[in-house]
Amino acid sequence: MNDQVTISPTTLSVHLTINGRDHALEIEPRVTLLDALRDRLALTGTKKGCDQGQCGACTVHVDGQRVLACLTLAAQVEGREITTIEGLADEDGTLNAVQAAFLEQDAFQCGYCTPGQIMSAVACIREGHAGSDEEIREYMAGNLCRCGAYPNIVAAVRQAAQELRS
């Protein structure tokens, strides 16, 4: 690319790689990754809670790192690997260890925050920040649960972390 700066017209052509699949979109520059996922790509597993970076419901992975889709512009993550809750289970439907642990520990009530909790927990364990209940609480603090399922969420993360270690 010779141009040092790419100037956008009113809409942008953006190519996103989500759960291993390529998607081409025509979007306004202001469209967030969250809105692109939900409204344009029908990937509604990623939830819109506060839409202001405060609740964690929209947590997805970009290049393996957990981030908030509501504060990420879709245009910004072109060329990055995006993983959403839809991309977590195996092709044959076998659940990720964290998904299975959430079911087993009943780590939800209404379930709205759950996709964000699970995406956050997968990364939390991978980062090595699930060594104790205290550490799990600290490093899961960015995911709020208004039903207050926190004790069960901590139990699920603890269980999945143990399973993945062994």
Partner 1 sequence: MRDFSYLRAGNIEAARNAAALPGAMLLAGGTTLIDLAKCGVAEPSTVIDISHIEGLNAIDVTADRAVIGALARMSHVADNPQVKNLFPAVSEALWQAASAQLRNMATIGGNLMQRTRCPYFRDPQNFPACNKRAPGSGCSAIGGVTRGHAVLGTSEACIATYPGDLAIALVAFDAEVDLGERKLKVEDFFLAPGATAEQEHDIRPGEVITAIEIPGSAAARRSTYVKVRDRQSYEFAAASAAVGLELEGDGRTVRDIRVAFGGVATKPWRARAVEEALKGQMLDEETVRKASELAMEGAVDHGANHYKIALAPRVVVRAILKLGETA
Choice from 38, 47, 48, 66 touching partner 1 (CB under 8 A): 66
Tell me how far the alpha carbon of residue 42 is from its chain's centroid: 15
113 binds partner 1 (CB under 8 A): no
Rounded Cα distance, 121 and 146, in Å: 17
Choice from 25, 71, 95, 164 touching partner 1 (CB under 8 A): 71
Give the number of other Cβ atoms within 10 Å of residue 83's Cβ. 20
Give 38's Cβ-side CA count (13 Å radius): 18
Closer Cβ to partner 1, 106 or 127, answer by number:
127
Rounded Cα distance, 151 and 107, in Å: 8
5 binds partner 1 (CB under 8 A): yes
Binding site for partner 1 (CB under 8 A): 1, 3-10, 12, 28-30, 32, 51-53, 56, 59, 65-68, 70-73, 75-76, 79, 120, 123-124, 127, 129, 137-143
